[in-house]
A and B are shown apart, each in its own frame.
Chain A
Amino acid sequence: EVQLVESGGVVVQPGGSLRLSCAASGFTFDDYAMHWVRQGPGKGLEWVSLISWDGGGTYYADSVKGRFTISRDNSKNSLYLQMNSLRAEDTALYYCAKGLGSNSRLCMDVWGKGTTVTVSS
């Protein structure tokens, strides 16, 4: 069974940094692109970032470009999101999602349950 388990969400002050992790199991991790998607309180889904199967391609929403960095460690079946210069509007539930394949044109498939990031003083 495919499983994605996010962790690392906490309360952090504006301007602070945080690293989210996603532990993957039940599939061949390095065969798939991976996404981060977030959902603010009472809001809709917002795509955040995508990383290719080998980490060679990384892509970001304009709202996080230059502040967030996506990475992966295929030897550990893990996905990461380094979040810097955090703002109140980054407060959200952050989901890790498996791509349908290695191609970046394939959407999110299986989703984790998410980890909550709160940016507040």
Chain B
Amino acid sequence: QTVVTQEPSFTVSPGGTVTLTCGLSSGSVSTSYYPSWYQQNPGQAPRTLIYTTNTRSSGVPDRFSGSILGNKAALTITGAQADDESDYYCVLYMGSGIWVFGGGTKLTVL
């Protein structure tokens, strides 16, 4: 069974740039997987950041961007702010109506 991989944790300095990735245990992520990204703060429901690789959801600041980097999907945060400290999840479309989430990345802004 294919596993969707994410870095368990990442630390970025305030004002810095960080790129979180979303890969596959076997194979490469492409736009055909319709990668999407979510932000989740403790005790809250997820918030949609990016869908279909690089489209920002309504109201999401443009410091968040999505792309394909090499064989992975990527979420880049440019000019990180304190309130970007959160858990980030990617999800990939595996075909035949099936979606799989990555394990999530805990981002610390420090």
Given A44-B89, A45-B38, A114-B45 in contact, is the A107-B99 Cβ separation under 8 Å? Answer: yes
Q: Is A8 an interface residue (CB 8 A)?
A: no
**Contact (Cβ within 8 A) A45 B36:** no
Cβ–Cβ < 8 Å partners of A114 in chain B: 45
**Contact (Cβ within 8 A) A111 B97:** no
Cβ–Cβ < 8 Å partners of B46 in chain A: 37, 45, 95, 108, 111
Nearest A residue to B33 by beta-carbon distance? A105
Q: Interface majority SS on B: helix, strand, loop or mixed?
A: strand
Spot the interface stretch: B11-19, B22-30, B76-84, B100-108. Answer: B100-108
For A59, give its contact among B38, B52, B96 (CB under 8 Å): B96
Cβ–Cβ < 8 Å partners of A117 in chain B: none
User: In the bound complex, what is the Cα–Cα distance between A111 and B45 (angstroms)?
Assistant: 7
User: In the bound complex, what is the Cα–Cα distance between A83 and B15 (angstroms)?
Assistant: 46
Q: Is B57 an interface residue (CB 8 A)?
A: yes
Nearest B residue to A33 by beta-carbon distance? B97
Interface string of A77-121 (1 = CB under 8 A from B): 000000000000000000100001000111111111110000000
> What are 25 A-to-B residue pairs whose CB atoms are below 8 Å?
A37-B101, A44-B101, A44-B103, A44-B104, A45-B101, A47-B91, A47-B99, A47-B100, A47-B101, A50-B97, A50-B98, A57-B97, A59-B96, A59-B97, A61-B98, A95-B46, A100-B51, A105-B93, A107-B36, A107-B52, A107-B93, A108-B38, A108-B91, A111-B47, A112-B45
Question: Interface residues, chain B, CB within 8 Å of chain A?
Answer: 1, 34, 36, 38, 40, 45-48, 51-52, 57, 87, 89, 91, 93, 96-104
